[in-house]
Structure 1
């Protein structure tokens, strides 16, 4: 999520399928501004959603590498642990209507990565640090207390972090579930998009930060998903969008709203170890892993077009019908059912804590 943004890739096969750059071409209204028709009002929502968000999490901060990280938790310590990780420019609440479905049987945590949500911003970001942060969070909130290591579940960029941690630190997790995680388009498309980026000059930077909106309603009108897609369930998009904003006081003393993520995260991200052709080939992958993807996702389009992927051969993949990249918005209950089924029957052999 971000205002006026879409995805693009730098000229390397890496996990940045939802990297933000500003859109110049027109998009359909339902993609350009999926919440505009509601004019700041909350869209009507079904009872299952109301019941899920009524199970409010405990909100805490965990210290890692000198930063305070936002963490949401559900369920009792002592049950098997689940760690949910969000995508780029997102936050822990992207999972807060999904996680309650697991809280009766698991100790569940959803973290905001450094530079996103209410977590601290850093001068530098790296996959190695994100992996250490996930471990620190898991230890701090009791995900190891259920008799086995936690299962990590990550969406998009967060799925990239889960995959990286699973390859580099298989001793830290029971299993890894990636949700619509991509590794960049084919080389010819990457070259074309790299050229496009050279022509784009209005990406938020230190001297050109994210826009401040005078009201929550004005900000919601600018919310859209990246990669661009319709919001399958507007009530979920609205819930996410409201929690993507923070209040700021401007130089003239007036109050406004802006997005919570660090607009310079991509400029600060060390992508040396994020290349799919590197960290996926270090002696194979021993962590059990599964990929869940949307049938209409751009990830599928890239894979069919020959995009590189470090996923191990023969890895289980599950398609969610009628879902784009943001499966938790398009088909949340189908995603819950898929994860529940996996946790009940997979992996076949439990790993010791």
Structure 2
């Protein structure tokens, strides 16, 4: 495993921001010093950002399906005074490469290997994981594989429903996280505006901070010969039967996890709501803190970024080692 490229500084001046009236907290966040690099894990390049000072309590963060590390690029800087933060792109998403094996267990093993490669296990404080949606499923498996090496997991709006609600969700055309066709063509659009017109959130929702949606959309695409296309690799849509089974078992797996755990979700989320929390408690999860972010749907960081950060700070403060 070796680091192969390193750059730095923020990305405040981009196509998406040219005509935006951006709030001060956001511009300050993107101005916080950071590292940007690639590291080799399992023969594949993994793209990541790093904020904060080495030696501070480490945090490892990752994103949802078809998203990328910049989901947390305006959240992580708000935690950088107290923590050493790594935010990385999952295989086949963002800037990270994808190999021939990328099922759930492999993704989880890669998460542990990344923490190892970046020396997050060497300090006196165990690294904690913060993961959103699909990334939370990866992190849950990583905790099952190597939970004793981590200091805890904060799951952010992972899709959890009672079996009957889940069946209705599927009947209505919804699918499990990561649904899609792995042989789908990679479309190339003639210009950025055409590509941007195809960018939507899943599940669909309006966002209360439109400039953040523009930021996410811009960094979800890349220039290629002939125009613009998506950064993700279509292979990420392949899901094994074991992956599907593990996801369906997620509610009980969460409750049974013998390690420190908390859940943060959007109060108005379509994938995790108050009934999801009640269901987990009925399964035996009454010991798990479950925090609803007001006026937020599934994409917490795009709806209520500051309230979401406050919720993260609160959990991390309660978990701080004395």
Of 162, 166, 187, 2:143 maps to 166
In structure 1, stretches of 5+ residues that fail to align are: 1-37, 250-254
**Higher share in helix:** 2
User: Cα distance, 1:179 vs. partner?
Assistant: 0.7
**Is it true that 1:259 corresponds to 2:235 in the alignment?**
no
**Is it true that 1:321 corresponds to 2:297 in the alignment?**
no
How many angstroms apart in 2 are the aligned matches of 1:85 and 1:282?
18
Map residues 260-339 of structure 1 onto 2, 5 A cutoff: 260-269=231-240, 271=243, 274-277=246-249, 280-281=252-253, 284-301=256-273, 303=275, 312-339=285-312
**Is it true that 1:209 corresponds to 2:185 in the alignment?**
yes
In structure 2, stretches of 5+ residues that fail to align are: 1-14
SS in 2 for 1:139: helix
**Is it true that 1:130 corresponds to 2:101 in the alignment?**
no
Of 74, 80, 84, 1:103 maps to 80
**Which residue in the other structure is 1:91 paired with?**
68
TM-score by length of 2: 0.83
**Which residue in the other structure is 1:242 paired with?**
218
Render the CA deviation track for 1:248-296: whole Å, top value 9, x for unaligned. 22xxxxx311111122312255515623427945993221000001110
**Is it true that 1:193 corresponds to 2:193 in the alignment?**
no
How many angstroms apart in 1 are the aligned matches of 2:59 and 2:16?
36
How many angstroms apart in 1 are the aligned matches of 2:118 and 2:133?
24
How many angstroms apart in 2 are the aligned matches of 1:219 and 1:189?
32
SS in 1 for 2:291: strand
SS in 2 for 1:247: strand
- Higher RCO by CA contacts (8 Å cutoff, separation 6 or greater): 1
Change in Cα spacing, 1:185 to 1:121, as seen in structure 2 (3 Å) is farther
SS in 2 for 1:300: coil
Q: Is the 8 A contact 1:156 1:181 kept in 2?
A: yes
Q: Is the 8 A contact 2:267 2:274 kept in 1?
A: no
Aligned residues: 302
**Which residue in the other structure is 2:202 paired with?**
226
How many angstroms apart in 2 are the aligned matches of 1:112 and 1:187?
33
Q: Is the 8 A contact 1:176 1:290 kept in 2?
A: yes
User: Cα distance, 1:212 vs. partner?
Assistant: 1.1
How many angstroms apart in 2 are the aligned matches of 1:239 and 1:275?
30
